[in-house]
Structure 1
Amino acid sequence: MTRPAPKEIGAIAAVAGIPVSAEVAARIANSIGPAFEGFAAIAGTLPFDLEPATFMVVQAGKASK
């Protein structure tokens, strides 16, 4: 998990149907960057990193036992 660059933010926003200017993309990257850096130490170790579609199946299986 790496800090997103403004170019990546712009591409993601465009795919979502909400194109943003380069300036807005830079502001978004600067505002969410610290969150990515804060979680970098534990990235990939959280159980929710599993495929979200299987999360409910696994939880239902545990509940039925």
Structure 2
Amino acid sequence: MTTPTAKEIKAMTDVAGVPVDAEVAARIANSIGPAFAGFAPVAGTLPFDLEPAGFLLVQTAKVSA
């Protein structure tokens, strides 16, 4: 898991339809950097890391008998 750069943040916000300028992208990258550093020791070991979008689907699926 690597900390996203301002360039990567800019690309993600553009794709999401919420474009930001380079200065805002840099501030976002700087603000989330510590969170990435904190989770680095357990990165890849948590089941939620595998597919965050599928997590809610699994949690809300009804079991058919």
CA distance in 1 between counterparts of 2:33 and 2:19 reads 20
CA distance in 2 between counterparts of 1:49 and 1:8 reads 19
Q: Which runs of 5+ in 1 are unaligned?
A: none
Mapping for residues 35-54 of structure 1, pairs under 5 Å: 35-52=35-52, 53=54
Q: Which runs of 5+ in 2 are unaligned?
A: none
**How far apart are residue 56 of structure 1 and its match?**
1.3
Q: Which has the larger radius of gyration?
A: 1
User: Does the C-alpha gap of structure 1 residues 10 and 47 become closer, same or farther in structure 2, counting only changes over 3 Å?
Assistant: same
**Percent identical:** 66
Structure 1 stretches of 4+ moved >2 Å: 49-55
Note the alpha carbon deviations across 1:3-42, whole angstroms, 9 max, x for none.
0000000000000001100000000000001000110110
Counterpart of 2:2 in 1: which secondary structure? coil
Match for residue 56 of structure 1? 58
Match for residue 23 of structure 1? 23
